[in-house]
Amino acid sequence: MIAEGGHYALVLALGLALIQSLVPLIGSRLRDPALMNVARSTALAQFAFVFASFVALVMLHVTSDFSVVNVYENSHSLKPLIYKITGVWGNHEGSMLLWVMILGLFGALVALFGNNLPLTLRAHVLAVQGWVGTAFYLFILLTSNPFLRIARPPIEGRDLNPVLQDIGLALHPPMLYLGYVGFSISFSFAVAALIEGRIDAAWARWVRPWTLMAWVFLTLGIAMGSYWAYYELGWGGWWFWDPVENASLMPWLAGTALLHSALVMEKRDALKVWTILLSILTFSLSLLGTFLVRSGVLTSVHAFATDPTRGVFILLILCVFIGGSLSLYAWRASALKQGGLFAPISREGALVLNNLLLTTACATVFIGTLYPLALEVTTGAKISVGAPFFNLTFAPLFLPLLLAVPFGPLLAWKRGDLIGAMQRLMAAGIAALVALALVWAWTKGGSVLAPLMIGVAVYVICGALTDLVERIQLFRAPLNISWHRARGLPRSTWGTAFAHAGLGIALIGIICESTWNSEHIATMRLNDTAQVGSYVVRLDSLTQRQGPNFREQIAHFTVTSDGKTVGVMTPSKRSFTTRPASTTEAALLTRGASQVYISLGDAHADGSIAVRIYYKPLVLLIWFGPLLMAFGGMLSLSDRRLRVGAPKPAKTPRALQPAE
């Protein structure tokens, strides 16, 4: 009965989404507060039912109920409990249920924390959320029902894809979906503003926390996915320009532009129409990512579904929401009141440049990702667009962005002093030149490109610190005064500094890993040694181990440096019994921010085994940077001025007491 209960809860959620999408709109036309308030109650009830449906599917997987098709195809009784739970969304049907549950969650959060919104705006926002929810509930129930039964249940399941049996599945998809779906709130606010024909700085103040929350989760989701691919696939790579990877990068770029654009709108009441357009495009790119994963048009490790029916249904959803919102934008945008003016050299101008470069980079990735698909559909020709194209087009667009990043916080609103900002950034420039010279000397000459980019990264980090130094008047005021000013700085200021510094830190990791990594690929026998970087790796033994649902061959390596043992590494090769597949479990030895990386290949009859050994200098900075960026986003989100549910009401003045 659990499966039937979960299915019924999903049907009820669909019914509530339909009510949520229609009744508040009627109420706004009739100016009826009672009908408009229906949006709040239905949003909360809808989330309750979709959450119950998701819990039902989790219970079916945990209890290994193989009478349900989804459980039979993606689980196994011997699978560890953690992978039974994560396997719920390790497939198309379960992941879509997680998708709509997160959509319901965000709608419920708006209903709970949106009491300070005008009643009509809240009604329109939740109605748009209801439209999106209705479309995806119908998609699940008509094409991707996770609760389908098997007439004659088998004794055992087919097991989850071995590659997905990893802790990364517990982190990467939920984080990514929280980012993808979180941008639906920005989309709903934009469509609601177009419906009402009114947009102002207050709108930007309401939409920024939701956008920032989605951006933080998407940043974490992309970083988690990158690290998962790095250690799980055994290639030692962290980004492959896979079309589905690109599909997550595009809304991140657009969402970053949206954050900065909304800031200009909030502070200066400018870029209104552009901010609305970015809100629509960001969520549209999230929907595009959903289409690429589930339509069958791509062959990728990320692809969940290959059923053309599902692809056509999602394509229809894309056409309705993207086409409908852009049509509404074209119709109503001209009626929106334009914002204030500002000089080109100003903080607004710097943020406009930021938007221009980010959206151009996003367009470049969009073209490189979809052009092969469009060409195949129109002409039948098949081409591949890979890393060379993206490296030659994307990277040059990011260089001027990196150079401009430190200037933004140092320029004044409306009219800035470029010369003054350059003077304040002089110390950052000197630090960058020193870093460039040191790295170039350390590498004994050669190409100057890598040392130059290291210098740019140092400049970005020091530029972020410069803003803090200037604000607290460090070295210009007594230390206690600087400390007091530092404690009084808004959290959003600290968050901005951390986010910008994280960008520079990630760049250092990318340059060092890409330029100076060492690689050794060979067939090794017992007691054979290999050298990577300053480390010597010796194969000591090969053993076998029986896991819960796999058999594992483990290699034991001793790693030495300057004759001293620094660690023991145990990479393995797993062969799964149910599905005839194998996975590589790489071993990682962390030394500071650098790593020694070993993965196993096939074993041979003579007792030897294929081995990949890498030394990756400062590779962990690639993921520490995004973590710092996300931390900066969360710090900004905790700022009173940005927190969901603000502003804080003024204190009631104390009544005067009569004189005695």
| Mean pLDDT, residues 28-56 taken together | 96
| Mean pLDDT, residues 348-361 taken together | 93
| Mean pLDDT, residues 332-341 taken together | 74
- Look up residue 615 and give its amino acid: Y
Q: CA 417, CA 408: separation in Å to the nearest integer?
A: 11
Least confident window among 269-283, 418-432, 631-645: 631-645
Query: Residue 201 has what pLDDT?
Result: 75
- Look up residue 593 and give its amino acid: A
pLDDT exceeds cutoff 60 at 644: no
Q: Is 19 exposed, middle or buried (0-12, 13-18, 19+ CB in 10 A)?
A: middle
Mean pLDDT over the full length of the chain: 90
Q: 315-346 as b/e, with b when 16 or more CB fall inside 10 Å?
A: eebbeebbeebeebbeebbeebeebeebeebb
- The contacts of residue 622 (CB under 8 Å, 6+ apart) are 226, 238, 506, 509, 510, 513
Local confidence band at 64 (pLDDT 50, 70, 90 cut-offs): very high
Local confidence band at 423 (pLDDT 50, 70, 90 cut-offs): very high
Give the H/E segment covering residue 186.
helix 168-196
CA distances from 297 to 117, 171, 377, 382 (A): 41, 26, 10, 12
pLDDT exceeds cutoff 80 at 655: no
Handedness of CA 373, 375, 377, 382 (dihedral sign): negative
Query: Residue 458 has what pLDDT?
Result: 97
- Look up residue 261 and give its amino acid: S
Least confident window among 123-132, 260-269, 592-601: 260-269
Q: CA 422, CA 444: separation in Å to the nearest integer?
A: 31
pLDDT exceeds cutoff 90 at 395: no
| Mean pLDDT, residues 52-77 taken together | 95
Q: CA 513, CA 530: separation in Å to the nearest integer?
A: 20
DSSP line for 485-527: HHHHS-HHHHHHHHHHHHHHHHHHHHHHHHHH-EEEEEEE-TT
Local confidence band at 550 (pLDDT 50, 70, 90 cut-offs): confident
Q: Name the β-bridge partners of 519.
A: 614
- What does the CA dihedral 510, 512, 514, 518 come to, rounded to 10 degrees? -140
| Mean pLDDT, residues 545-551 taken together | 87
Does 186 or 652 have the greater pLDDT score? 186
| Mean pLDDT, residues 126-141 taken together | 96
Local confidence band at 587 (pLDDT 50, 70, 90 cut-offs): very high
pLDDT exceeds cutoff 80 at 324: yes
Question: To the nearest whole percent, how much of the chain has pLDDT over 70?
Answer: 94
Query: Residue 339 has what pLDDT?
Result: 66
Place of tokens 């690290």: 227
- The contacts of residue 108 (CB under 8 Å, 6+ apart) are 43, 44, 46, 47
- Give yes or no for a contact between 526 and 603, defined as CB atoms under 8 angstroms apart: no
Query: Residue 649 has what pLDDT?
Result: 45
| Mean pLDDT, residues 634-654 taken together | 62
pLDDT digits (tens, 9 = 90+) for 1-33: 899 999 999 999 999 999 999 999 999 999 999
- Give yes or no for a contact between 467 and 496, defined as CB atoms under 8 angstroms apart: yes
Handedness of CA 291, 292, 298, 303 (dihedral sign): negative
| Mean pLDDT, residues 330-347 taken together | 80
Cis? peptide before 372, omega within 30° of 0: no
Question: To the nearest whole percent, how much of the chain has pLDDT over 90?
Answer: 67
CA distances from 460 to 229, 354, 432, 542, 552 (A): 28, 14, 9, 47, 45
pLDDT exceeds cutoff 60 at 646: no
| Mean pLDDT, residues 82-91 taken together | 94
Query: Residue 303 has what pLDDT?
Result: 55
- Tokens standing for residue 347: 């903080």
Q: CA 259, CA 208: separation in Å to the nearest integer?
A: 7
Query: Residue 461 has what pLDDT?
Result: 97
| Mean pLDDT, residues 74-102 taken together | 93
Angle between helices 324-332 and 272-294 (to 10 degrees): 170
pLDDT exceeds cutoff 60 at 63: yes
Q: CA 188, CA 129: separation in Å to the nearest integer?
A: 6
Give the H/E segment covering residue 564.
strand 564-569
- The contacts of residue 597 (CB under 8 Å, 6+ apart) are 231, 236, 586, 587, 588, 589, 612, 613, 614, 615, 616
pLDDT digits (tens, 9 = 90+) for 507-541: 999 999 999 999 999 999 999 999 998 999 999 99
Query: Residue 352 has what pLDDT?
Result: 92
Name the region of 563 (left: φ>0; alpha: ψ -120 to 50; beta: rest): left
Query: Residue 660 has what pLDDT?
Result: 45
pLDDT exceeds cutoff 70 at 178: yes
Query: Residue 553 has what pLDDT?
Result: 93
- What does the CA dihedral 103, 107, 109, 111 come to, rounded to 10 degrees? -170
